[in-house]
Chains A and B, each alone.
Chain A
Amino acid sequence: MKKHYLVVAASIALAGAVSATAFAGGPVDEELVIDGEIQMTTRTAAPEGHPLDEVISGWHYRTKETRALEADTFENPAMLGVEDGEQIWNTVEGTEGKSCASCHGDASESMAGVGAHFPKWDADSGRPINIELQINKCREERMGAEPYAFDKGGQKPLTAYIKHQSLGEPVSLDLAEGDMQSWWDKGKELYYTRFGQLNLSCSNCHEDHNGEYIRADHLSQGQVNGFPTYRLKQAALVSVHNRFRGCIRDTRAEYPAAFSDELMALEVYVTWRGTGLSVETPAVRQ
């Protein structure tokens, strides 16, 4: 706990020093308009209590080519995944003979805006759930189907399809629901915890040094508004827990299981750090 406070104090001290020196890379000064129609909020004033003044989407830190791929849905390689998700939405599975559409109808209406407000409090399990876990809940309780294993089956495309129905909607969480606040608290503590042999916290890279190059990588604020995100390096959709695990692994630490309490708490807190950014799913990153 003592360490935690020290780190917070330091981040504040560092923030001053950093702005005076580096930011050679920095976020590009451009606007993201999808298909020349949907004006996206990729920079916005931070919510109260946020350690940064401005919340900035990872889009601003990517190359011109990568940014262009996201701005055009025909060029965006992740739209194939979204189309797969639409198929799955309409496919009957499980003992109840139902598809997602059997209960929810046309996703462009029933799911519009929904993805901008996850993770949400789930009273049944007494914890926050994300879209992936909501899908599994529906599969088990309403369809009589097996839950998807992490990153398997239709989990990524279906999550991307549902979140895509909120394209352009500002991210906002209801922290007053259930016990959300205590999960936010726990997520915040983890965000400032140093992990692994390299002894690094999320804040070291994404709060203190965003805008700077770490070897070939241009550090962003580590926002999650574009997930599942298409990563060019992996040529695939990448889920948010996969990304969290990757960053923790890079500190040379053991990483928590997907959907564990740790990663759900982190998702609540990191999502809040992006309050006001447009949902970009499926975003394109390097």
Chain B
Amino acid sequence: MAFKTRIWLAAAVAITTTAAVASAETAPGDVKVEDGVVSASLTGQPGDPAEGRKTFADRKLGNCLACHAVADQSEQLFHGEVGPELNGVGDRWSPEELRAIVVNSKAIFSEDTIMPGFYSLDVGKDVRKDLVGKTILSAQQVEDVVAYLATLKE
């Protein structure tokens, strides 16, 4: 009986936590790209550039290095060349523009860009079952990456 109560308690806590996060976060379908920007933080929180730097390189998360070289991460062995080098990208684009690019690059460049939308549900056919309805990055990971990109100045 005591055991059962504990499970119920745990479940209740879990529900409250998710609800709390959900209310502060903008759901992928509600993000508005207007005039090439997403003006507000997706979480209401500032991003952490150090975390963003890791997410950028992590093959399971952003894997941005697959396509973009960046001098700031020269300790990483392999940088791709499918997209432009991102040195000085923080001078070229504002944080609000960078957020729009990471959220849904197709809305900024063109429908035909190879760059995935990292916080978009406009995805391809036959999405892997466990990923249906999920974005590549979480809202906070997007904010972290945007904060990191903003530090890339020349």
Contacts and interface: CB of A to CB of B under 8 A. Distances in A.
Q: Do A and B bind each other?
A: yes
Interface of A: 6-7, 9-11, 13-14, 22, 24-25, 193-201, 204-205, 208-209, 212-216, 219, 248, 251-255
The range of chain B's interface size is 20 to 34
10 nearest A-B pairs in the assembled complex, by CB-CB distance? A10-B112, A194-B124, A216-B78, A215-B66, A199-B124, A195-B124, A204-B114, A253-B126, A254-B126, A196-B124
A199 B123 contact: yes
A111 B52 CA distance: 57
A249 B122 CA distance: 18
A200 B81 contact: no
A215 to B, nearest CB: 4
B128 A196 contact: yes
Contacts of A251: 124
B109 to A, nearest CB: 10
A253 B125 contact: yes
B116 A213 contact: no
Interface of B: 59, 63, 65-67, 77-82, 110-112, 114, 116-117, 122-129, 131, 134, 136
Contacts of B117: 199
Nearest to B76: A215
A6 B112 contact: yes
Contacts of B66: 214-215
A82 B128 CA distance: 35
Contacts of A193: 124-125
A219 to B, nearest CB: 8
Contacts of B110: 10, 13
